[in-house]
Each structure stands twice: as C-alpha cells, then as structure tokens.
Amino acid sequence: MSDEVHNPARPAATQTTANIRLAGQFLHELIDSPSRLDEISDGATLVLLPPDDPELAAANLDLAARLTGVGQGVTLARVGIPVPDHPNWAPHDLRTLRMRGINVRWVADANPRDLNIVYDHQRDLLLIDFFAGRYHGNVVPRGPSLYLLIDPGTGEAFGYLMRSFLAHAVRRTPRLAVVLAAAELRPLTAEELGGLDVLNDEDVEEDPVARVRPEDVASFLSEFANRIA
C-alpha cells in the first residue's frame, strides 16, 4: 500500500495506521488459508478492503481506480470477512476480485467539427464528446472527478466527463470556464453518463473525493487541445 491515497476527511497518520493494521490482519488470514495467495495476480498491486471502515474502503477503492486508469492491474482483497456457516456457501464467497488495467488509446481521426460539449448545470457535470455522439460506452475514472468515456468493444476513449466542474475545476483553473461558451446547456441523459451514479450537488460539496486534482485538469486541457488542433 505504498501508493496510499489520503482521504482528506481523516488524518493521514490515522489512515496509514489503519492500513498497516489491515495488512497485518491479511497476513494472519494468509497463514490460515495459504491458497488465497493463488488469487493474487502476478504483477498486480494488492489493495485491501476492510468490512467495517467505510472511509478507508473508499480511499483504497479510489487508489485501485487510479491504478487501473493508468494501465496497472489490481487485486482487491476483502479482509476480516467471516467464514460462511454452511460449507456449500464457501465456493460462492467472493473474497478477491481482479481488476484489469486499462491502457487508454483514443479513437483516431477526430474532427474538430464533431466536437460536442454539454454542461448539466443542475448536477455540475461537463461532457466532452469528440465524435458528436457516434460512440456510446462506459465511464472509467481517471481521477476523483475526471472520467474517460470508453467504447467497451474496442477499449478506445472518445471523450471526457467531469464532475464538480464549476464548484471545483473552474475555481481551481478559471480558464476552463471558456469551455462553457461552446457548450449546450441541458441535463445529461443516462446513456451519456455511461452508467455513472452521479452524486447530487450537496453530496459532491461534502465529498472530499469529488474534488478535482491539478493533474486531472492538466490532463484534460492537454488532451482537449490535442483533439481540437
């Protein structure tokens, strides 16, 4: 857990201590059940999830999402889960989940005239679609509030979705506001959201994970400039 992501809602030292305790608990479980080692993918980063600490679980899941977003494999392991009472339930007790890294590549031949920008004011969401709705797919996190739109069939990216656009992204980088001049102002559809369960405005303000990181903004601006050049 050397790449630990700090959840601003709790002190860093407290979170680190909790992860160390969780790692010790996992080692004890491996001693009792060595076969769990076979469930960890070679070369993957092991990310542990506690059953009784929602803040730590959220921070560790955020780490897993960031790692897969840059192409790394991740093995999620649930720690401290009671053994099923009935032996027939054991084979269906999911304690480990493998997450495949996503090596993002963009759909080729984008035409600036196909650029489609939509701003959903009620949910403070910005959609950038470089192909005018010709592609549909899923959202993949690139950071706490920046997502790529991915075609699940090809694995190619065709746009961006940014949460907390005015609340955090524009406040951090005011020049982003110029994007709104070319935006269509309307609610985003479920299909455009690609399965993303969007928090309402109050939850986004209260949720520290929803805040935009400087590197997310830099990535967005760089790719946006490249795509419309």
Q: Per CATH, is 12-99 categorized as 2.60.120?
A: no
Taking the domains of the chain in order of start, what are their residue ranges?
A: 12-99, 105-228
| Contact (CB, 8 A) for 156 and 149 | no
Structure confidence at residue 23 (pLDDT): 92
Structure confidence at residue 127 (pLDDT): 92
Structure confidence at residue 170 (pLDDT): 86
Q: Give the residue from 142, 114, 139 showing the smallest Cα distance to 195.
A: 139
How many whole angstroms separate alpha carbon 64 and alpha carbon 58? 10
Structure confidence at residue 202 (pLDDT): 42
| Contact (CB, 8 A) for 170 and 163 | no
Query: Which pTM value belongs to this model?
Result: 0.53
Look at strands 156-162 and 125-129 and give their pairing.
Answer: antiparallel
Q: Which residues of the chain have pLDDT under 50?
A: 1-2, 6, 200-210
Q: Give the residue from 8, 5, 19, 120 showing the smallest Cα distance to 67.
A: 5
Structure confidence at residue 114 (pLDDT): 85
Structure confidence at residue 40 (pLDDT): 80
